[in-house]
Structure formats: C-alpha cells, structure tokens
Structure 1
C-alpha cells in the first residue's frame, strides 16, 4: 500500500501502517474463510443437506466482503487496476475535495456569528489570567519574550540602526525650527519665575565650589602683576579676589532681588523675545543646533550609546536572574492577577478579543479557508491518498469485515425464508 519507504514514515504513521496491514489481513482472512466454507458446503451439500444453509451464508458473506472491498478500494485506487468509472475517488477528485472542504470550513466555522457565539461563552481573559499568575508560567512568558527580543536585537544591523537614528534625529530635531518654540517656552518660564530654582541651584553650586577650592585662586590674579611687586602683595591680592567672590555669591544667595538675579531675569527675557522675533538670534540657535548634531563626535556618541544599550539589553535578556527578566515576570504575574480578579477588566479584554477575532474572520475568512484549498491542490495525489488511507484505512477495513458478517447473515436469512416459504426450493 505505502509508496513512501517505511523508514521515512513518522513513528505514528508506522504504527498506523502496521494496524492497517493487520486489519487488511483479518478482512482478507474472513473472505478466504467464507470462500473455503462455500466450496466445502457446495461440494458436500448433496450428502449433508444442512450444509445448504452454510453454503448460503458463505455465499452471502463472500458477496458482502467483495462488495465492501470494492467500495473501500474505490476510494483510494482503481480495483484490480481496471478503469471502472467513479473509482480512485480521492486521487482523481483531490482538488475538488479540497475546495469543498475549504468552502465547508468557511461557511460553518469561519462565520462571524459562529465565532462571536463561541468566544462569548469562553472566559478567555479569566483563563489567561489564571495561567499567567502562576509563577512558572510567568517566568516562561518572560523567557520566551526575552528570546524573541534577543533574536530581534541580534538581527538588527548596527549600520541600519545608526542610519535610522540619524534620519529620525534629522526629521524630528534638526529640520524643525527651534527658535520660536524655545522662545515661547523660555518666556513662560521667565513670566512664572520657574527659572529661579535653577538660578538658586547654580548659585549654591558655585558657593560650594568656592568653599572647597580656595587654593584655585592662588596666582589667579597675582601672576599678572609686575615682577617687582612684593610676594606678600601677591598673596593679599589673591585672597582679596577670593573673599570678594565668596562675598558676592553669598549676597546673591541671600537677596532674592540682587542686581545679578535681576540681570539674569532681564537677559532671559531678552533672549526669549529674540528667539521669537529676531531673525539673527534664531539663526544663531539654528546654526549651533546644526553644528552640534552634525558633529562627528555626536555621531560617535550616538553609535556608542546604541552599542552599549544593545549589549546591556542582550546581557539582561540572557540572564534569568537579571532585573529586567525578574521585573518582566513580575509584570506578567500582576497582569494575570488583575485578569483573574477584576471582572470589569475581564469584560473589556474579552470584548476586545472577540471584536478583533470577528473582524479578522469576517474580513479574511475566504483567505483563511483558501489555505486549505491551496494546500490540498499542492499535494501529490499519490501521497494524499496514502496519508488519508493511513489515517482512516484501518476503520474502513472494519467495514469489509462487517460486510462479510452482514452478508453471511443476510444470505442465511434469505435462503432460510426462501427454503421455508417457496415451494420446491
């Protein structure tokens, strides 16, 4: 029966082939037994009249066995190789069977109302939540997600990513005008005094630096004095400059209306005005922005940042104990817990899934069903016949065996009725 070498069959198909051959042998054995019984009964019925009943039963059994053998064989091939019409149904009508099967699936299984009714009775969100909140399952989801993410990162070309980052930066950062938005933003900051906190932070930082770096003023001014000035005067000048700087910064810290603060407010207000209305100021900002982004150093820093981020992500994704994997698994468990306990969330998720499934089925059901039709059309007729026979052939052999038994009983019954009711028989 099998054209495919047994060694190439899957273990399941090998088991089916063995079972099929065994049932074929049983069905053939029943036919042979009926034939032997018929010959013996036909030969000896003149001597033993009761053998006429055996002959009738055997004759009916042979007819039933042969008829069912023909019917079963005609599904898969031509009986005895004869070109009998309406035989070898599966190989000759394979494509039609595939189209019919595809239409059946499309009509009865991929209908929108069928899908909606089925999904409406299925607690998808609750079941998913119960599964996801199990720690082992959450870890598995996180692991699978990490594997997919690692594969995607590994497949990305560093050059392509760098070009993409450059294109996105140019499109969203370089090409748009910064002047007017920056001026509006800065004006709002000045009007609401939101910049005072930054000024306080800067002044405090300067004061802290002065407290810890007094030695930095040594020679700052004195090295510019004439050589004939005494060394003591050098030290006095440097100390005076340092103390004046400390006193000035302290005054700025203590007085919210210090002239330096007012000067900063005025400068920022003028800058905001210029960025909004002065072409020269806007041009300076745009030139500085372009020079910054076009700088080879900035491009190198972007590439280095991508390499560092990629390496860090791959390392974290590969380590089951990394913070990223642990937090991902924890997030999955939290999602599962919410899906299990929050009925409102369950209803929303179930509704989303149902609506999405119905939309996809309603829009693409013909394309989905055509997968069956196209797949069956690509199958080789001989291989198709072989696989179908392996799947259902064993059960069909029972039909042959049942036909033998039913034929024998029918032959015996018919002969008995005729013998007892028809005169002269």
Structure 2
C-alpha cells in the first residue's frame, strides 16, 4: 500500500470542460466532414479540397490530442513509452520548481532589485485612504480569514506566548539608559515643560485637598499658648497661603528659581540614568520586581485580551470597526503616506530590507517546503492541479492543431493539383 498522502483533487473548472468539449467536437466534426467529402467528392471540383482539409485537420487534431494527453496520462490507457510525463517525473518537477524559485525569486540581490521598483508605502497609503478599503471580495475574504485564525488559536496558550514574549523582551532591555536618553532628549527640545506645568497644577490640587492635614500638623506641634491664643490657626493659614503663592508664581514664571531647580534635578537624573551604575542597578531591580508582580502580569493579559477583542471586531465587521476614530486615524495615516516622501522612503526601505532578509534567512526553507510539498502529493493530485491550471490553454493547442493541419492539407493538395 502506498504511503504517499492522497489529497482531494480539485474538480476541473468549467472553462476547461467547455474547451475540451469544443476541441473534441471540432475533431469529430472534421471526421464527419472527411466522410461526407469522400463520399460526394465527384459531385463538385471543390470537394477534393474539402476532403484534403478535413483529412489533414484530423491528423493534426489527433496528433495534438496525443501530445496534450501524453503530458498527464497514458493515451487510451496504453503504456506507450514517454507518455504520462508529469506523473512519472513528479519528484523531478518538484526539485526543478524549487531550484527555479531559488534562482529567480529568492536570491537576496534579485529580491532587492525587484523590491526597488515597488512603492509599498504608496500602495498602502492609497488603500488606507480609500473610504471603501474595508469592502470588496478581497477585503471580505481577508477579514473572514483573519477572524477564523484568531478564533481557532488556543487563547490560553497564545496569551501565555504573548505575555512571555513581552516579559522576555523587557528583561532583555536595559531600560535605565533608554529612560535617561529619552529624558535628556525631551529636556533638550523643551518637551519637558508641559510635564512641569502638569506637576505644578498637580501640586496645587494636592495642597487644596490636604489643607486640613497641614492645619492639624501645625496645631499638634504648637504649644498650648499658641493654641489658646489661636496663633496656630493663623500660622497654618500663613503657611498654606505661602505655599499657594509659591505654586502660583511657579506656574506663571517659567524662569522661577524653583522650576530651575526642578529642571536641574531632571537633567541630573537623565545623566545618572545613563552613566550611574548604582542607579541603573536599582532601576533594573525595580524592573525585574515589576515583571514578577502578579498585577503587572494580569495587566499584560488584559492588554492582550483587549487587543485580541479589537482585532476580532475589526475582522468580523471591518466597515463598522473602521468607521470611527480608528478608521479616521487610518485614513489620515494613508494620506500621510501619500504626501510625506521621507516617511514613504523609510517604510519602503524597511520593507525592502525585511524582504531581502527573509529571502536570505528563509529562502532555502521556502524552496524545501515547495519541493517537499509537491513530492508529498500523489501523482493524480499533481496531474489534476496542473491540468486545471494550464489545461484550457492546452485545449486551444488542439483546436489550433486541427485548423492549421487542415490548412496545410489544403495547401499540399493544391500543390499536388498544380503539379
């Protein structure tokens, strides 16, 4: 018993069946025309030419039928040598196809040359900017495929993989220098000023919400004389008013000394995050503790579930999901891709490098996958799929052979009559 896996053969497409009937019908028509012309050839001088046309057309049609059939099977089930070419050479076809893909498509320099002519960013921008980019047969099919994939995956295992990937990536990153560089860049460009303004407003709200605590602290630390005379209350009021005035001045004056001290502290923190091993070790220790924290792990799991839910909603109903803010953001991004030449060049360069890297890293694996897949098919499956792909054009060869054979037959008969 053969161990070769048997795949379901695709039924021949309607176009192939129709062209096969036309080619066979034309051959039968030539046979009928030959018999009629041979029987009545004495009745008219033109009938011998009709007979010659039909006779040669039959020969040409039969020859091309034999050639086309011999590609896929034995004609008339007779084991004629050099027939059933594709089934007998299945493994060689698989190897040749794999080598063809490797030599013509999966060589890094070939991929780079082909990708150089592609404007991936422009195409993506036009697709995203189109109001109906979520509709159409392609969009609907892609949406159904994405939804089926998301629903079929093991969510517990996939969620664990996502959580593990995020945690592993964070463990591998030395976050202290990154934070330091980001903070230094923000200070250099003045992007820290909104943070200082927010801190000032937050301090004002904290002071307002905790006035009673300040009064209680002053009252508790004041002597009995100050409490009896009410000076503790006056002192607490003065302290609160002074703090409010300080906060208001900081909010109104960007060059306030306290703000300058805060900025100086931020600059020092940015430098220490990048160059102080002791502080970097503390940040790294805090990062590892956070990664092991159950609350953080639940947050990552919740983040994944929210992302998966959003992707499912998008896949199930792309028009509705893309009709709100997300859709508007995607349309704006599509417009940006079409107008921002620098961004488009960056994206195209990234896609090109990714494609070249994939060809370099996985080209041999893709070739083996194609070759092994074809080798794993049984001969009938290979024959059926190739015939369905090119069989319609091969039937045109039969028709052309019939017609051209008939014309050659007429020409030969005309030469014979003249000579």
TM-score calculated relative to the size of structure 1: 0.57
Number of the residue aligned with 2:194:
none
Q: Tell me the residue number matched to 1:23.
A: 22
Count of residues paired in the alignment: 346
Structure 1 equivalent of residue 101 of structure 2: 105
Aligned pairs for 1:210-221 (under 5 A) are 211=212
- In structure 2, the CA distance between the partners of 1:347 and 1:63, relative to structure 1 (3 Å rule), is same
CA–CA distance in structure 1, aligned partners of residues 105 and 68 of structure 2: 29
Q: Secondary structure at the match of 1:84?
A: coil
Deviation, 1:340, is: 1.3
Q: What do the CA deviations read for 1:207-255 (whole angstroms, capped 9, x no partner)?
A: 96464898x89xx99xxxxxxxxxxxx9x9899797598489669969x
1:78 to 74, 83, 100: 74
* 2:187 matched residue in structure 1: none
Please give the alpha-carbon distance, in whole angstroms, between the structure 1 residues aligned to 2:165 and 2:106.
41
C-alpha contact (below 8 Å) 1:138/1:332 kept by paired residues: no
Q: 1:335 to 1:376 in 2, by over 3 A?
A: same
- Which residue among 373, 396, 407 is the counterpart of 1:375? 373
Superposed displacement of residue 87, structure 1: 0.9
Distance 1:370 1:339 in 2: 37
Equivalent residue for 1:190? Answer: none
Distance of 1:244 and 1:418 partners within structure 2 = 134
Deviates most, 327-336 or 301-310: 301-310
Do the aligned residues in 2 keep the contact of 1:131 with 1:137 (CA within 8 Å)? yes
- Equivalent position of 1:194 in the other structure: none
SS, match of residue 118 in structure 2: coil
- Between the aligned partners of 1:312 and 1:239, the Cα distance in structure 2 is 61
Q: Find the counterpart in structure 1 of residue 341 from structure 2.
A: 343
* Alpha carbons 1:207, 1:246 under 8 Å: kept: no
The one of 345, 357, 360 equivalent to 1:359 is 357
- Per-residue deviation, residues 289-346 of structure 1 (Å, max 9, x unmatched): 99xx79xxx9665566567666766777759999999554444334323321122222
Which of 83, 90, 100 is equivalent to 1:87? 83
Pairing 1:21-60 to 2, within 5 Å after superposition: 21-37=20-36, 39-40=38-39, 53-60=49-56
Cα deviation, residue 19, structure 1: 0.8
**Cα distance in structure 2, aligned partners of 1:128 and 1:154:** 30
Q: Matches of 1:338 and 1:8 in 2, distance apart? A: 47
Q: Report if aligned partners of 2:98, 2:367 keep a CA contact under 8 Å in 1.
A: yes
Q: Structure 1's 358 and 407: CA in aligned 2 closer, same or farther, altered over 3 A?
A: same
Contact 2:9 2:380 in 1 (8 A): no
Question: Per-residue deviation at 1:371?
Answer: 3.5
Residue by residue over 1:387-424, the C-alpha shift from the partner in whole angstroms, topping out at 9 and shown as x without a partner, is 33333334333333333333333334334433442xxx
Q: What CA distance in whole angstroms lies between the structure 2 residues aligned with 1:113 and 1:303?
A: 44
Q: Quick one: distance in 2 between partners of 1:309 and 1:385?
A: 49
CA-CA distance at 1:75 after TM superposition: 1.5
Structure 1 equivalent of residue 126 of structure 2 = 130
Structure 1 residue runs without a partner (length 5+): 1-6, 174-197, 222-233, 257-281
Q: What's the counterpart of residue 188 of structure 1?
A: none
Name the Cα RMSD after superposition: 5.9
Q: More displaced, 81-90 or 410-419?
A: 410-419
Unaligned residue ranges in structure 2 (runs of 5+): 1-7, 175-198, 247-277
Q: Which moved more, 1:379-388 or 1:70-79?
A: 379-388
Any idea what the Cα deviations from partners look like across 1:26-51, whole Å, max 9, x if unmatched?
1331342254246526xx66x98876
Task: State the shift of 1:348 in Å.
Answer: 2.5
Paired with 1:53 and 1:168, the residues of 2 have a C-alpha distance of 83
Mapped to 2, the partners of 1:334 and 1:326 lie a distance apart of 12
Q: How does 1:236-251 map to 2 (within 5 A)?
A: 243=233, 246=236
Residue in structure 2 matched with residue 397 of structure 1 by the alignment: 395
What is the CA deviation profile of residues 241-295 of structure 1, one whole-angstrom value per residue up to 9, with x for unaligned ones?
A: 97598489669969x9xxxxxxxxxxxxxxxxxxxxxxxxx9xxx9xx99xx79x
Q: Which has the larger radius of gyration?
A: 1
**CA–CA distance in structure 1, aligned partners of residues 321 and 296 of structure 2:** 25
Aligned residues of 1:106 and 1:366 also touching (Cα < 8 A)? yes
Counterpart-to-counterpart distance in 2, 1:246 and 1:209: 12
